[in-house]
């Protein structure tokens, strides 16, 4: 059985439609933020994501983790980021326990038939990594 973000259990999961993962050097994200600043953050992250990450001392780790998660989700969906899916079509927020939760734009919900996506984000001093599993 699988528990959803609302605490309900999925008993008859039919299949995994896609899996994606990504890894990113945190220093690379930090350098990009230093060079490009707010325009980069606005292009890659929603206002809510930026507010969440800004609360932390090492915010570059949070941004790198969310970037990796968006890449992993795009890979699981089979599209990548581009014409069919934009950075803002995917929003990664956290529940009250800090667990990352995926929110899709209305466009993405319609295009991918309201996808159920599970994600996990991890980071060390040097890397951020994420995995995404698209469930049917």
Catalogue the active-site residues.
75, 123
The full length of the chain comes to 136
DSSP state of 113: T
Cβ-based burial of 98 (10 A; exposed 0-12, middle 13-18, buried ≥19): exposed
- What dihedral do alpha carbons 26, 57, 123, 7 form, nearest 10°? -140
């Amino acid at each position: 059985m699988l528990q959803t973000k609302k605490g309900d259990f999925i008993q008859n999961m039919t299949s995994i439609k896609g899996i994606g993962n990504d890894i990113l050097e945190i220093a690379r994200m930090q350098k990009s933020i230093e060079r490009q600043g707010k325009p980069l953050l606005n292009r890659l992250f929603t206002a809510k994501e930026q507010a969440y990450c800004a609360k932390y001392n090492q915010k570059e780790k949070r941004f790198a983790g969310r970037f990796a998660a968006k890449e992993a989700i795009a890979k699981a969906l089979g599209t990548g980021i581009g014409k069919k899916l934009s950075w803002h079509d995917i929003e990664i927020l956290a529940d009250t326990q800090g667990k990352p939760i995926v929110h899709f734009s209305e466009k993405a919900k319609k295009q991918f038939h309201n996808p159920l996506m599970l994600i996990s984000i991890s980071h060390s001093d040097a890397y951020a990594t994420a995995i995404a599993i698209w469930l049917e």
